[in-house]
């Protein structure tokens, strides 16, 4: 019986798809423009978000609180060797951090904010290795191992992972826990990051709790990763909590796309970038401040300056930074009179100074 239902479901799914396609094609397409809507500035929007009152706050709190009785089960599943993957609509950041800080007190917990643009997994792994080392030291389990040990930050990723996966010095109860908010976040979507995360999750001394929001998140992993490395145990925990931080980095569709970037947004984006990227931005900013009437900094000049200051090692890395800037409209290009591509920041000098001041803090 159930197999028939299954087929029925599958057919239903494809039928829906074609119906929707048909509907889109046949009905007269509306010619109304998105820009007709009375739009607001992104800056104002961001400010409004913070003040926005969300509906059903009480119910959301009740819902989130109701998950507390599952904490014991979650811990049990973690100990059994599964990774916990929380999914369902709503921000789960508050929930899993609460879970970690109340139910996982026996383990050190490191939180990765996957919704940010720049995450260096090597640094995370170093931090994890240091925590584990500290934990093992207090239990005096490592005396022989410590003798000829390099500092962790000089070790390769493979060495770090094999340390975390290391031999069982103890009763198998020394763990560090990794909490990943939005494991499907923009910075973690490439396969290399996911491979590293999977290898981290598979280590014998790590536990992993992660949340995912995207409906297609499972496409990030192959079967080996899902079933043997992450070993996910899926939990459906819709919270309906607003995606406050997670939403910051999405360019809103209903804001004025041409409106000037403001200091606040720019600084949020910049702060989430690597120090090198920030410094590249500063180079452009300095140039613009020095030549307020100029057309911007020629690309070649920027590359030379950045190379001299050891900010980038190749044109490719510089381009990667610039793509990031352009995506967030921190920097724009225009041709100068010589036909060169010039980079400029669409901010007034005052605003720019303020921005530089903010990110230098």
Partner 1 sequence: MAPSADPETSPSISTSNTDLQPFFLLHKAASRKPSSKTRRRIDLSPKASDASAQEYNDNSRFETFKLLWSNTESIIKDVLKNLNTTVFDGIDKWVHASFDAIRACRTPDFTTAMSMYPIPNNVPIGAQIFTALLFTKNVESVDDISTFADLGAHMRSSGCLVANLTSIDFSAKNGVGGCLKTLLRQFLLAGIDAPEMSILASWYNEQENYDKPLIVIIDDVERCSSSVLNDFILMLSAGLRLQYSLTCKWKNLAIDREWVIKVPIILVLGVATSVDALRNILCSSACLYLSVCEFNLGTPAERMDAVIEAVLLRSCQSFNIGKHVATFLRNYFLRHDGTLTLFVKALKIVTAQQVFSEPLSFVLRKLVNEEGTEARLTFLFFLFVYHLIELLYTHYLIFQGLDGDNILLREPAMKRALELPSLQRFWETSGNSIDWVSALSELKRLHQLWSSLVMCLYEIGRYRKISLLDLYCEMLKLKQQNFGANDLNLVEKDYSTSVHNYQSPGCLLDKGYIVRAFQMLRDLSAMELCKILDRWEMLTRGIEKIHEKVKELQSQITLEEKRSRHDLRKESKRPTARTYKNDKTSNSTINEKVASFLQSMFREYIQTIESIPLHEIIFFDNVDNLNTAKYCLSGQLYFALIGDPRRRIQADLLESRKFLKCSCCSKNDGVLVPSMHDTSIMYTLVQEHGDLINVHEWFHSFMAVISNPPLQAKKKLRMSPSPKKRKDSKEARTKTDASIQAVTELQITGLLRMPTKRRPDYVQRVAFGL
Alpha helices in 206-348 (DSSP H): 223, 263-271, 275-290, 299-308, 315-327
Say how far apart CA 91 and CA 240 lie, in whole Å.
7
Site for partner 1 in 315-344 (CB under 8 A): none
CB atoms within 10 A of CB 37: 9
**Candidates 71-79, 317-325, 330-338, 347-355 — which segment interacts with partner 1 by CB under 8 A?**
71-79
Among 137, 224, 335, 357, binds partner 1 (CB under 8 A): 224
Q: Which of 339, 280, 353 is nearest to 311 (CA)?
A: 280
Site for partner 1 in 104-133 (CB under 8 A): 105-113, 116, 118-120, 123-124, 127, 131
CB of 297 to partner 1, least distance (A): 26
CB of 249 to partner 1, least distance (A): 10
Q: Which of 42, 86, 93, 324 is nearest to 186 (CA)?
A: 324
Nearer to partner 1, 268 or 289 (CB): 268
Site for partner 1 in 230-289 (CB under 8 A): 231-236, 238, 240-247, 250, 252-255, 268, 271-272
Site for partner 1 in 28-47 (CB under 8 A): 29-30, 32-38, 40, 45
CB of 27 to partner 1, least distance (A): 6
Site for partner 1 in 181-220 (CB under 8 A): 195, 212-218
Interface with partner 1: number of residues (CB under 8 A): 133
Half-sphere exposure of 50 (CA within 13 A, CB side): 5
Q: Which of 236, 231, 237, 312 is nearest to 278 (CA)?
A: 312
CB of 352 to partner 1, least distance (A): 21
Establish if 153 lies at the interface with partner 1 (CB under 8 A).
Answer: no
The helix (H) or strand (E) run that includes residue 113 is strand 108-113
Q: Which of 61, 58, 103 is nearest to 239 (CA)?
A: 61
Site for partner 1 in 79-98 (CB under 8 A): 79-82, 85, 87-91, 93-95, 97-98
Alpha helices in 105-258 (DSSP H): 121-138, 143-146, 157-164, 191-202, 223
**Residue 178 φ then ψ, to 5°:** -105, 125
Site for partner 1 in 1-30 (CB under 8 A): 2-9, 12-13, 15-17, 19-27, 29-30
Nearer to partner 1, 38 or 144 (CB): 38
Edge-first strand listing for the sheet containing 297-298: 297-298, 341-344, 332-335
């Amino acid at each position: 019986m159930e197999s028939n239902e299954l087929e029925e479901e599958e057919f239903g799914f494809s039928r829906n798809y074609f119906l929707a396609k048909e509907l889109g094609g046949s009905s007269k397409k509306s010619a109304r423009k998105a820009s007709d809507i009375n739009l607001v500035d992104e800056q104002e929007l961001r400010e409004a978000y913070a003040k926005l009152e969300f509906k059903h706050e009480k119910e959301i709190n009740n819902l989130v609180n109701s998950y507390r009785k599952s904490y014991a089960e979650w811990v049990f599943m973690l100990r059994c060797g599964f990774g916990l993957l929380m999914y369902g609509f709503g921000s789960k950041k508050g929930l899993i951090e609460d879970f970690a800080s109340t139910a996982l007190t026996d383990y050190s917990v490191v939180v990765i904010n996957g919704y940010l643009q720049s995450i260096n997994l090597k640094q995370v792994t170093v931090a994890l290795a240091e925590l584990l080392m500290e934990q093992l030291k207090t239990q005096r389990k490592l005396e022989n191992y410590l003798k000829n040990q390099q500092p962790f930050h000089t070790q390769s990723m493979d060495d770090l992972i094999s340390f975390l996966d290391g031999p069982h010095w103890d009763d198998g109860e020394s763990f560090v826990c990794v909490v990943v908010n939005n494991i499907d976040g923009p910075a973690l979507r490439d396969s290399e990051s996911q491979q590293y995360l999977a290898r981290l999750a598979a280590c014998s001394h790590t536990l992993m709790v992660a949340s995912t929001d995207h409906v297609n998140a499972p496409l990030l992993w192959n079967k080996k990763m899902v079933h043997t490395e992450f070993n996910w145990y899926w939990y459906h925990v819709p919270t309906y909590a607003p995606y406050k931080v997670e939403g910051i980095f999405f360019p809103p569709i209903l804001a004025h796309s041409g409106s000037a970037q403001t200091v606040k947004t720019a600084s949020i984006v910049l702060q989430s970038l690597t120090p090198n990227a920030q410094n590249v931005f500063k180079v452009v900013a300095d140039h613009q401040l020095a030549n307020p009437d100029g057309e911007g900094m020629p690309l070649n000049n920027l590359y030379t300056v950045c190379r001299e200051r050891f900010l980038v090692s190749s044109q490719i890395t510089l381009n990667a930074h610039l793509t990031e800037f352009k995506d967030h409209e921190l920097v724009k290009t225009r041709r100068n009179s010589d036909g060169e591509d010039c980079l400029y920041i669409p901010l007034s000098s005052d605003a720019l100074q303020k921005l530089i001041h903010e990110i230098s803090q």
